[in-house]
Copies of this chain bind each other. A is one copy, B any other.
Amino acid sequence: MKSPNMKNKRPTLQDVADLVGVTKMTVSRFLRNPDQVSAPLQTKIAEALEDLGYIPNRAPDILSKSKSHAIGVLLPSLTNQVFAEVIRGIESVVEPAGYQTMLAHYGYSKEAEESRIATLLSYSVDGLIISESYHTERVRKMLAVAGIPVIEIMDSVSPPIEQAIGIDNEAAAYAMTEFMIKKGRRKIVYFAARMDQRTLFKIKGYETAMLDNGLTPLCLKTNSASSFTLGATFLKDALQQQPDTDGIFCTNDDLAIGALYACQKAGIKVPQDIGIAGFHGHDISRAMVPLLTTVITPREEMGRLAAEHLLSRLQGNPVSQRIIDLPFKIEAGESV
């Protein structure tokens, strides 16, 4: 035997070949198409593979072909249920197609984004799904140099690097604000957390709608992550700053639900005294009492579509549509 595996290392094709008495090329052929190998050898090779517990090694293939059969997914955070659902959508497409997902997150920091993208590229991912529409020059250059398909998700407004799939957050916030105004709300306060680009778009939509209707916008902001507790805190602040507040529009469902429960505890009637609206339409908002008024966003579909378009591009198809603007929906609910 040439190089018996005495080092207790994972067996290689060579080890299998040695065991059978052929060259590793023959074993390699068997693995990809057994019929390329004579019948007796098929049996022996299959046995040897099983015997040694051979597990293929992608590294050489990645090295020579620069293709890893993995796609990189870079999201701002994993804390947020929104992104968990996006991941689910991506996985539902990518996994059956035989691709592996490499997940990374950058905590809303631009430097971290640069380094995460470099890392993902260093693994030779075949394609990337990233979020946020603003990227540094460095990031743009890296992506250009890498020459792999890139899809941006979440936002459908800014001009994409190649292709964007998302919703128009500003329009959605505008629509919800108008909805609340139509329902007779006048003193509507906006609760904003995690001041990322999407939140800024939403604030703009809210403020524009207020001003368009001759009303005065009031926005409570913080950079920390949203939570139920934060919704309760914001409620207190809002009532202090504007005691006659009759509407609250939150940048996401968490804040809205937190505010709603805080109202219940404080004896404030929803929607009679204050109307509360959320954003996203998570499952809980469609089950709770009262049903939450919210903007339903296609989070899972966004992931699914992004993955589908990415795979299509990996098969050589060109970008079919630079911006895919997915519809949102105003869910009337019972809380406004």
> How many A residues face the partner with a CB closer than 8 A?
60
From the candidates B57, B78, B103, B288, name the one contacting A124 in the complex (CB within 8 A).
Answer: B57
Residues of chain B lying within 8 A (CB to CB) of residue A81: 81, 84
**Docked pose: A103 CA to B286 CA in angstroms:** 29
Complex: A146 Cα to B68 Cα, angstroms: 20
> Residues of B contacting A268 with CB < 8 Å?
none
Known: A286-B228, A289-B265. A102 touches B100 (CB 8 A): yes
Question: Whole-angstrom distance between the alpha carbons of A284 and B68 in the complex?
Answer: 40
- What distance in Å separates the Cβ of A68 from its nearest Cβ neighbour in chain B? 8
Q: Are B100 and A119 in contact (CB under 8 A)?
A: yes
Q: Are A63 and B53 in contact (CB under 8 A)?
A: no
What's the nearest-Cβ distance from chain B to residue A57, in Å? 6
Closest 4 pairs between A and B when the two form their complex, measured CB to CB: A228-B287, A53-B145, A59-B63, A84-B84
A interface list, Cβ under 8 A from B: 8-11, 52-53, 55-60, 62-63, 66, 68, 70, 78-79, 81, 84, 87-88, 91, 95, 100-105, 118-124, 141-142, 144-147, 227-229, 232, 254, 257-258, 261, 264-265, 283-284, 286-289
Contacts A59-B62, A103-B103 aside, 11 further interface pairs with beta carbons under 8 A come to A55-B142, A56-B118, A57-B122, A59-B59, A70-B123, A78-B88, A101-B102, A102-B102, A257-B288, A258-B287, A261-B288
